[in-house]
Chain A
Amino acid sequence: MRYILRRLGFYLVALWAAITLDFFLPRLLPGDPAATILGTGGQLDPSQIQAVKEALGLSDQPLILQYFTYLTHVVRGDFGISFSNFPVPVISVILTGLWWTLLLGGSSVIISFIIGNLVGIFGSWRRGGAVDSFVPPLLVFIGAFPPFFLGLCAVYLLGFQLHWFPTRHAYEDTLTPGFDPAFFGSVIQHMLLPVLVLVLTQLGGWALGMRNTMVAILAEDYITMAEAKGLTQNRIMFRYAARNAMLPSITAFGIVLGFVLSGQLLIEQIFSYPGLGFLLISSVQKLDYPLMQGLFLMITFAVLVINFIVDIIYTRLDPRVRAG
């Protein structure tokens, strides 16, 4: 419990840091930030201008007051109005993307986590086998490809040339979202290629990390003891070694998540997949500053929440942490 509270405290600090960073971002713009930002807004009426200024912390108040006005807006989820989707509030734009990002990211992380860890476990166990000598360098090779380049190649080859997969959007444009099999089928069909690319780029990281931890764990005394006890290979490999080797994998999850997300942002862009990454990149290209700032905060927030959930899972898996 103490551990959980400590983690929670840390995430709150992290969230505050991100919010504060977000507040200072517009001030990095050359010239008068308010003028620059509003200059891109175009069609705003005076009350909207005031609302956007307050939400971005760019009102005419002294800095400290601006900061507090900004904070209250953030807490209310008010990030202003998205210029590129005028006059939709930033928060509604973000919420449309959030679920698609979670869907795409969640499935690719889960798939690559499972496959990668299995490869790592078997590779470290069967010394001298193909999984150990041949697969890791191959994974390093695939992992070296920038995710978006792999995405480009996949779209070109498997999409445009071979027509095996749809290459853009999250579902067929003719369908309306709803609880019907046609819609779900289309969603899955549209996910296949981006998930494949994401899994390929993440696999190596999980597999090599797991393999190295396994090799370290296999040298632990309690593994020697388990072997001396005459337990079966499977029990030692999974219940003793892999079970414990998972723990560092899980603690590393937060860091890995950052990398995964980075890859995913561009993949969404390439597949025109309507998630947060696609929104972020198009907001950058359209100079929609309020949306950019809101997206950065929302992405950070999502990452922190997921990290916190992983921490809670971790305490279930490691009794040493549970005790405090």
Chain B
Amino acid sequence: MDTHKKVAHTPNGQQTPSPEAVDVPVASPEGHPIEQPGRQEQPVEIEGTPAGQIVVAPPATLPVPTRQRLVWLRTLLKNPKALVGIAIVVFFILVAVLAPVIAPGDPTEFVDAPNLPPSAAHLFGTEGQGKDVFRQTVWGAQISLLIGFATGLLITIVSTVIGMTAGYFRGRVDDLLTLLTNLFLVIPGLPLLIILSAFLSPGTGTIIGTLAFTGWAFGARVKRSQTLSLREKDFVAAAKVSGESGFRIIFSEIMPNMISIIMGSFISSTTYAIGASTALAFIGLGNVSEVTWGTNLYWAQNGGAILQGAWWTFVPSGLCVALVAFGLSFINYALDEVTNPRLRAEKELNRTLKGTAFKKTKTRATPVLRQSQPK
């Protein structure tokens, strides 16, 4: 083989969607070449390549400026599904904050006869002990949401630290953390949660702690695999060469590229926490003297609401949990639509085809849509 000099003749930093870039738009999301400051403009000489071969420069990945890195966020805020989700969640946060204004009075006060159906005096009726269901529902938002968001935050922190540490440092550390993660994934969560709560002394802190203890593993796994693929990128290598420490690279180079994943994980952990804490409270493992949606359901069930036909005692609280969970899941659903290049591609095509003959195409053959008559 001759070894004379060759020219790298296509120094373009083009990025086409590659499998490992599925979740995080490291490149600009449209797959456009990204302007790369200080890019080599002169022919580059490379030695020892086979004769007559165009040397294709591997697509370089430079750190993407923050503004571009957050393009998905702007797209997300324009997505109707995301907006619906955000509106629902914000609504319930407002309800929680404004509870004293919306439903003034003590939610644990006995106001009237038990099991009265909804009326003008009691919007949602009264429950088995004669407490006002509307007050209980509105005030219940406070602790329910508090537990949800606090646990979501805790889980996100734990899973991010464990996942990224495992993914970045690899080797023995990774083996150990991955084993731990897999153990927590395979040991069924709710039974563990139930018996932990049964053995520990009850309280909001215990609930948040046990929920986080049983709920961190899934997020850690996702973040580990993302870190694994990001750590192979050029900008991480560059940071390593310039002697930055491991944790610095993790936090200042890798983490900014994982914001969408971390956000998604926060949302799903919060959803999980709200659902699971309600379930715990429902079976009597919460702090039954507090007013939460879960304890409302517990009292309704204990008071024989179903036998008495008092649907209004359990429907409002359950519906609130479902709506908050729906709002959060819908944000995540939209997040997926926005950051998954393939889903986005499908969507883009559908939008263009809307109103054309291809609107309802059942085939996957490339559609032909002549915009102008061929010459």
Contacts and interface: CB of A to CB of B under 8 A. Distances in A.
B94 interface: no
B186 A145 contact: no
B325 A212 contact: no
B326 A128 contact: no
Contacts of A303: 186-188
B275 interface: yes
A225 interface: no
B207 to A, nearest CB: 14
Given A143-B329, A216-B342, A152 B194 contact: no
Interface in A169-221: 208, 212, 215-216, 218-219
Contacts of A61: none
B41 interface: no
Given A141-B326, A146-B318, A215-B346, A30 B201 contact: yes
B363 interface: yes
B318 A144 contact: no
A254 to B, nearest CB: 5
Contacts of B362: 126, 129, 233
A126 B306 CA distance: 43
Contacts of A11: 186
Interface string A45-71: 000000000000000000000000000
B199 A296 contact: no
Contacts of B134: none
A262 B189 contact: yes
A262 B342 CA distance: 32
A28 B195 CA distance: 11
Nearest to A223: B364
Most chain B beta-carbon neighbours within 10 Å: one of A14, A128, A287: A128
Contacts of A102: none
A254 B283 contact: no
B283 A269 contact: yes
A285 B283 contact: yes
B82 to A, nearest CB: 12
Most chain A beta-carbon neighbours within 10 Å: one of B187, B278, B354, B362: B187
A256 B340 CA distance: 22
Nearest to A37: B199
B350 A148 contact: no
Interface residues of A, number: 67
B186 A307 contact: yes
Interface stretch (A80-88, A110-118, A153-161): A153-161
Contacts of B359: 128
A296 B192 contact: yes
Interface stretch (B43-51, B62-70, B244-252, B308-316): B308-316
Contacts of B371: none
A25 B346 contact: no
A160 B305 CA distance: 11
A296 B19 CA distance: 40
A25 B275 CA distance: 24
A143 B342 CA distance: 24
Nearest to B341: A219
A129 B360 contact: yes
B191 A261 contact: yes
B322 A149 contact: yes
A299 interface: yes
Contacts of B342: 215-216, 218-219
A284 B333 contact: no
A155 B329 contact: no
B71 interface: no
Contacts of A269: 283
A125 interface: yes
Contacts of A107: none
Interface stretch (B27-35, B107-115, B177-185): B177-185
B216 interface: no
B183 to A, nearest CB: 5
B201 A212 contact: no
A65 B282 CA distance: 39
A10 interface: yes
Interface string B174-216: 0000010011011111111011101111000000000000000
Contacts of B278: 146
A304 B183 CA distance: 10
Given A25-B199, A127-B346, A146-B325, A300 B188 contact: yes
Contacts of A133: 350
A4 interface: no
Interface of B: 17, 19, 22, 81, 179, 182-183, 185-192, 194-196, 198-201, 218, 271, 275-276, 278-279, 282-285, 297, 301, 306-307, 309, 311, 314-315, 318, 321-323, 325-326, 329-330, 333, 336, 340, 342-343, 346, 349-350, 353-354, 359-365
Interface of A: 10-11, 13-14, 17-18, 21, 25-26, 28-30, 125-129, 133, 136-137, 140-141, 143-146, 148-149, 152-153, 155-156, 160-161, 208, 212, 215-216, 218-219, 227, 233, 254-255, 257-259, 261-262, 265-266, 269, 280-281, 284-285, 287, 289, 292-293, 295-296, 299-300, 303-304, 307
Q: Give me the 5 closest cross-chain CB pairs, A-B, nearest first.
A: A262-B190, A144-B326, A149-B318, A144-B325, A28-B199
23 contacts: A14-B187, A28-B200, A129-B360, A144-B325, A145-B318, A145-B322, A146-B275, A152-B297, A155-B306, A161-B309, A216-B19, A216-B22, A219-B17, A233-B363, A233-B364, A255-B186, A262-B188, A265-B191, A280-B195, A281-B194, A284-B283, A284-B284, A292-B195
Given A127-B361, A255-B218, 5 more contacts: A17-B183, A129-B362, A269-B283, A292-B195, A293-B195
